[in-house]
Amino acid sequence: MLHAFLALIATLIHTALMFGLAPLLMGVVTKFRARLLGRPGPPFIQPYLDLHKLLRKTALIPDTATPFYKVWPFIVLSTTAVAALLVPSFCFGLITAPMSDFITLIGLFAAARGATMLAGLETGIGFGGAGAGRDALFSIFTEAALLVLVLTFVLIAQTPTIDGIGRVFGGGHVGLSVSLGFALAAMLGVALTETGRIPVDNPAGHLELGMVHEAMILEYSGRYLALFHYAAALRLIIWVSLIGSIFLPFGMADAGAILFWPVGLILWGLKLVFASASLAVFEVSTAKMRVFRVPEFLGVALLLGVLSSVFLFVAQKLGGS
């Protein structure tokens, strides 16, 4: 009974932190990028100010839009919010842990992406359709790579849940291996694509010919645009927490061990800062790819995912023989 109560409290803290710190993480990345480029940059809380400004503005709805124009932003945010509840942050054993199936997470990401693509097609403008087409092409590779990575994780942890995979990886039963290195590289490539970061996309760019995600929400304004921006911030903190809980699970507490929560919270915060700094350095030192080169980049991520599964399968066969 006490463990269930502590799991509930931990889940509430996790929910508040994920939803509350998502815009801040985006602001930290932007601030780090600006400092590396020699500019003062906006304050860390700028994303909160932008969301507040958009929520106060009147939403302009195009004449060519259907009634579903107002629905797609809510679908994108709701599916992303559910995904945020499934990915552990500072501790394992949350109430949502039994539901944190990796396939479910992939499905939620796909649903959010599909709703965003339909939003881009909503008004019939050329840029929205081009962005939706590019995103659909990229999703072929990202979803395939994620499914292959699921196979790798399940072979190692013998469970499809993110909570179970993180526990096994954090328990010291899994050492460093070539297959895990390939899996990490593949997941980083997929994460850059899913979050719309350089080299796949540039969230700060406004060149129509190179837009992907921004092109699909070009006709949105006001509170509907705020929902898209908040969902993008949520995706970033989800992916950072996902990679951290699988490949860097050290310091993560159990929901029933309340005394270790402060350690888990501090280390999770350090992981967020480290990820923000690493992403900023990578984006400053890397140029955005041409749109038609992105499938090659994602093809490499898919190949690395396949190699991770093959290497692991061969290693298990040789070890068992």
The pLDDT of residue 124: 83
The pLDDT of residue 125: 82
The pLDDT of residue 208: 63
The pLDDT of residue 206: 64
Give the three-state DSSP class for 89. Answer: coil
| Position 290 confidence tier, pLDDT thresholds 50, 70, 90 | confident
User: What is the DSSP track for 207-258?
Assistant: -GGG-SHHHHTTT--HHHHHHHHHHHHHHHHHHHHHHHHHH--TTPEETT-G
For 259-308, give the secondary structure using H, E and C: HHHHHHHHHHHHHHHHHHHHHHHHHHHCCCCCHHHHHHHHHHHHHHHHHH
Which range marks the domain in which residue 35 is found? 2-320
The pLDDT of residue 213: 84
Q: How many domains does the chain have?
A: 1
Summary mean pLDDT of the chain:
91
Strand partners, 254: 92
Q: How do 253-254 and 91-92 pair as beta strands?
A: parallel
What is the model's pTM?
A: 0.95
Q: Kindly tell me if the per-residue pLDDT of 77 is higher than 80.
A: yes
